[in-house]
Amino acid sequence: FAEFMRRLAWGVVVTLAATPAFAAESIFVWPDDGDPNTFIGWDSPAVWAGGVPGSGDRAVIESGGEILAVTGGPNSSGGPDPLVIEDVVIGRSVGPQASLRIGGVGTLSGLNTSVDLMVTDDLIVGDAGTGFVRQSGSTVTIGDQLVIAAQAGSLGEYELNDGVLNMAGGDIRVGQGTGGFDFNNGTLRNPRTIDLNGQDFVQEGGVFLRDGGGTGTTTIAGSYGLTLGAEVVHQDRRIIVDESLLMNGGTYDLTASSATLVVRETLWVQGLGSNAAFDLQDGLVDANRSAAFFNGLLVGTNSGVADADVDQGVGTMRVLNGELRLLAAAGGSATYDFTGGT
């Protein structure tokens, strides 16, 4: 699906939608010239019908527009002011793809495009139509929900390549359409729920940060996969994985007594072409599934060139209704280093 979305036309439509109490609605109306390298400044009045959207407004970008670069003018310190919008809808109606790029495009007419975006309510990527967001820098903060492919028949994709996506305790979910969340790099911070409508959540790189912000629990529907350079920094609160945590690579650092990881099925740490490491420095890990199925902690490697390691110095590792197994293929290693804790 990700490759399919990248091949879609770069006609841009971005809509910033608000709750029924929004102050005003602004519609992005700049025509598409067919050049994917052309960027239109967000703060240009000429591209908005209804004026440049601001705090409390609804910004609507419909299909057939240019790629929209989030810019904003310089503030008193010489840097760009953050854009504060109530709701954002990208691809509200059926038609060509609507796209929003955030960060990573250098300068535009002398303005710095490394501006932060604050959506106080929802960001919808593909409502009834087709929406695409590529974040290559800056910080995007969403107060409530990131909804991808909201309605039946819609297409949506959010691509996180760099910068920070701060969910502030909100949800990431795929609706009734066909959607995807590509976590390639950057930082994802404190989502409340990740529900991709039957798809597993796969982190290809970057940092999943769970600290003291947002709500008390992050719930991941389905399984959670880590590969290559992916890292989880679990500093506080609770992460619940409804199915299995599959570490084909990457690192999971659980670092504080106030942090808890609950895996409903199997916690699997394996080197599959890339080293995998689970570091339990403090806190609690529960690997738990009903007695009718196998569950537990498996440390192993299916590759002859990678290692899988669990290091426990403090904290508690509990394997419920299952077993702990170490598996190693020729040329690889599987280790559980226990120096303290329970």
At 105-138, the pLDDT tens digits run: 655 555 556 678 899 999 999 999 999 898 988 8
- Residue 298's CB is within 10 A of a number of other CB atoms, namely 23
What are 224-248's pLDDT values in tens digits? 999 888 999 999 989 999 998 888 8
The candidate with the shortest Cα–Cα distance to 133, out of 271, 15, 50, is: 15
In sign, the C-alpha dihedral spanning 127, 184, 143, 239 is positive
Q: Do the strands 217-220 and 123-125 form a parallel or antiparallel pair, or are they unpaired?
A: unpaired
Q: Which amino acid is residue 148, in one-letter code?
A: I
Question: In sequence order, what are the residues at sequence separation of 6 or more whose Cβ sits closer than 8 angstroms to the Cβ of residue 171?
Answer: 144, 145, 146, 191, 192, 193, 194, 195
What's the pLDDT score for residue 232?
Answer: 95
Q: What percent of the chain has pLDDT over 90?
A: 30
Distance of alpha carbon 236 from alpha carbon 259, whole angstroms: 4
Helix (H) / strand (E) containing 6? helix 2-6
Of the listed ranges 69-78, 204-213, 255-264, the one predicted with least confidence: 69-78
What's the pLDDT score for residue 183?
Answer: 97
- Give whole-number Cα distances, 7 to 1, 10, 97, 118, 155, in Å: 10, 8, 10, 28, 13
Q: Do the strands 307-312 and 171-174 form a parallel or antiparallel pair, or are they unpaired?
A: unpaired
The candidate with the shortest Cα–Cα distance to 131, out of 1, 5, 2, is: 5
Q: What is the pTM of this model?
A: 0.85
Region 277-286 average pLDDT: 79
The confidence band for 14, taking pLDDT boundaries of 50, 70 and 90, is very low
Name the most confidently modeled range: 86-100, 156-170, 256-270, 309-323. 156-170
Given a cut of 80, is residue 77 above it in pLDDT? no
The residue ranking higher by pLDDT, 21 or 207, is 207
What's phi and psi for 3, nearest 5 deg? -65, -40
Question: In sequence order, what are the residues at sequence separation of 6 or more whose Cβ sits closer than 8 angstroms to the Cβ of residue 156?
Answer: 90, 91, 125, 126, 130, 131, 132, 148, 149, 150, 174, 175, 177, 178, 179, 180
What's the pLDDT score for residue 20?
Answer: 41
Distance of alpha carbon 126 from alpha carbon 179, whole angstroms: 8
What's the pLDDT score for residue 70?
Answer: 58
Region 187-201 average pLDDT: 95
The confidence band for 182, taking pLDDT boundaries of 50, 70 and 90, is very high
Given a cut of 60, is residue 301 above it in pLDDT? yes
What's the pLDDT score for residue 69?
Answer: 58
Contact criterion met (CB below 8 Å) for 135 and 159: yes
The residue ranking higher by pLDDT, 193 or 28, is 193
- Residue 134's CB is within 10 A of a number of other CB atoms, namely 20
Question: In sequence order, what are the residues at sequence separation of 6 or more whose Cβ sits closer than 8 angstroms to the Cβ of residue 144?
Answer: 120, 121, 122, 170, 171
Given a cut of 80, is residue 297 above it in pLDDT? no
